[in-house]
Structure 1
C-alpha cells in the first residue's frame, strides 16, 4: 500500500512539474519621484477613467497572445505631450494598475508603435482633482486639444478568443462542402 501511495505521489509531482503554468517575473528599476518619472516616460496624463475593458492582442492567427487592459480616459490635463480630449491607454493585464471607472488618476504613459501604454513599473496616483496633479508636476500642464469620442473603439475590444470559432467554422464549412460534393458526384454518376 505504501508503494502505491509513493507511486501516486511521484506521478502527481511529475505531472505538476511537467504541465506547470506560464509565469512572468516583474523587475522594475527605481526611477525616482514625479519629475524624474516625467523625464523617464513620454508624458503624464491626469483624467477620469470612463471605461476599462480587457482585450487580446495577437500577431496573425498563430502568434503569441498578449492579454491587455485598455482604459478610456477623459483627459483633463497632460504634461510633456498634448492629447485629445479622450485617449485609450493599454496596460498589462497581470501587472498593470487596477483602474476603476469614474475615478481620476495621474498616469505616466509612453508611446509604443502608435499605442499609448502605461508601464506596470510607473507610479499611478489616484487623485480627486487636477490641482493635486499640478502640485506634483507643476502648473505648466497642457489642456486637451481636439474634442473626440473614442468610446466606439472600446466596443471592438474583447477578452474572447474568436480564432477558435473561426477555425471551427472553417472546418465545419469545408467538411459540409466535401460531403455535399461526394453526394452530388454519386447521384450524377
Structure 2
C-alpha cells in the first residue's frame, strides 16, 4: 500500500516538473537614430550609477511559463522627459538586456510597462563616466523628485524556482506523515 502511494506521489511530482516547457524567442530591433530621436521613442531617460543587480524568476500562475528578469537598482542623478525619484528599479530582459555592471554609470532610456519601469533590450543604453556628457546631449533635465532608498525591495527577488522547494517540502511532509502513521499501526 505505502509503496503504491509513494509511487503515485513521485509520478505526479515528476509530471509536474517535466511539463514546464521553455519558450524560445528571437530579438529584432529597429535602428532609432540619434540620442535625441531615441528619447522621443521612450518615456524618458535617466543618468545614474547602478547600485545593485538582481535576477528574479517570474511565473504565470503555479505551472505557467517561467521568465528570468534582471532588475537594476539605479541611483539617479538626472532624468529627462520624466521626473523620477533618487533611486529606481528597472526591469530588463535577462537574455537580451544590456550587460550592466555594478558601480558603473549609464544613460538609460526607460519605458513604463504595467506600472513597472523597464529598459528595452533595443534601447541605446550608453555607459558614461560623468553627467556632463548627458547634459550636452539633452540639456539640464530634472533632478530627482525625492530621496528614497529602494534597496530593501531588491531583497525579495530570487533566481531560484521557489515553487520547486514548496512542492518538495509538501512531498516530504506527506511521506513523513504516512511513515509515522504506518509505524503507529504496527506498534
The structure having more radius of gyration, on CA atoms, is: 1
Tell me which residue corresponds to 2:113.
112
The equivalent residue for 1:12 is none
Alignment of 1:18-167 (within 5 A): 23-139=24-140, 141-167=141-167
String of CA shifts for 1:147-180, please: whole Å, max 9, x gaps: 1111111111121112111101111112222333
Partner SS, residue 40 of structure 2: helix
Secondary structure, counterpart of 2:171 in structure 1: helix
Question: How many Å apart are 1:23 and its aligned residue?
Answer: 3.9
Deviations 1:19-55 (A, max 9, x none): xx86421101122211111111111000011111111
Q: Matched residues in 2 for 1:50 and 1:102: separation?
A: 6
Shift of 1:129: 1.2
Please give the TM-score of this superposition, normalised by the length of structure 1: 0.82
SS in 1 for 2:106: strand
* Gap regions ≥5 residues in structure 1: 1-20
Indicate the SS of the match to 1:154.
helix
Distance in 1 between the 2:120 and 2:23 partners?
21
- What is the rounded CA distance, in whole Å, between the counterparts of 1:89 and 1:159 in structure 2? 16
CA distance in 1: counterparts of 2:101 and 2:127, whole angstroms: 10
Aligned to 1:181: 181
| Cα shift at 1:78 | 0.4
Q: Which runs of 5+ in 2 are unaligned?
A: 1-21
- Cα distance in structure 2, aligned partners of 1:173 and 1:49: 42
TM normalised by structure 2 equals 0.83
Question: Which aligned segments of 4 or more residues in structure 1 are displaced greater than 4 angstroms?
Answer: none
Cα root mean square deviation, aligned = 1.7
Output the CA distance in 2 between the equivalents of 1:61 and 1:23.
Answer: 20
